[in-house]
Structure 1
């Protein structure tokens, strides 16, 4: 399950990074091949357009939500040799934000 979660997260991050540079990105589910129609290159996540939230259920009654405010991601894409492409995601654990307003996100 961990591998699938990482793969889903990787596809999500890759789609977000590529989407900033190309409007013709096609991502399919994990059971089929991923099609990428974007130029080769290095894509960096724009932190002003990204957020990493996490949520836990509190006593089965409510969800408590927090975020990491310091995140970065870099996609090195080579559509011709997709197996040589890579994604690096850095999350600063000390940047966790427990602001109470976050618990209202999605409520």
Structure 2
């Protein structure tokens, strides 16, 4: 009886070990990176709908708040491929002179457009061009691209969520898709160092710039069944 009981305990222990190994293996598997977007919106060339788009940025001010402003003049083109998100790409161009500030003091906008900051007279465009799109999980991608700001080009990463889309509507006879995206970079990497706090203090304007994007794009016309 003792022998049978021992064998029974060994079988139970083996089963538990196998089950634990299986769970561990599943947990250690890399995330799915080829998952398609579930949408009726067709693949193709899309352009941004500026009436449903927003480009906001935030920087730390004295450690007291995140100063928030936006650019209102920009364009963007998207190659959309819901079946293969890795094949997607996006480009954008921003006019730095379209900077919009919340209740700016007199002369403050001109200061931010001056050579100490954006130097908009010399560098009249900010551009972003994606170099890689990697799905991270369902309806989400990580976009790596080259940001050109203040005459300097550096890689920047945006984490984007696909919010949905459609192939068209009688009142909107084109494909439409929507995304929300966030990212950040250090302005000092682009030669904009004015006002960065000294090490160990918050007296100034932070180096880190947070970017928040909401964007809808319109694409191929709705195909009407004959």
Range into which the TM-score falls when normalised by the shorter chain: 0.5 to 0.7
The superposition leaves residues 32-53 of structure 1 with CA deviations (integer Å, 9 ceiling, x where unpaired) of 3242343121111111111111
Larger Rg: 2
Q: Shift of the alpha carbon at 1:77?
A: 2.5
- Which residue in the other structure is 1:55 paired with? 58
Deviation at 1:56, TM superposition (A): 1.0
Q: In structure 2, how many angstroms separate the alpha carbons of the residues matched to 1:59 and 1:84?
A: 42
Superposed CA deviations along residues 24-83 of structure 1, whole A, max 9, x for unmatched, are xxxxxxx53242343121111111111111111111112211100012211123456655
In the TM superposition, 1:60-71 aligns within 5 A as 60-71=63-74
1:1-107 matched pairs, under 5 angstroms: 31-33=31-33, 34-36=35-37, 37=39, 38-79=41-82, 83-100=86-103
How many pairs are equivalent?
71
Equivalent-residue separation in structure 2 for 1:59 and 1:79 (angstroms):
43
**2:84 & 2:62 partners in 1: Cα distance?**
48
Retained in 1: the 8 A contact 2:36–2:83?
Answer: no
Distance (Å, rounded) in 2 between the aligned partners of 1:82 and 1:55: 29
Unaligned runs of 5+ in 1: 1-30, 102-107
Paired with 1:71 and 1:83, the residues of 2 have a C-alpha distance of 25
Relative distance call for 1:57 and 1:82 in structure 2 (3 A) is closer
Give the TM-score of the pair, scaled to structure 1.
0.53
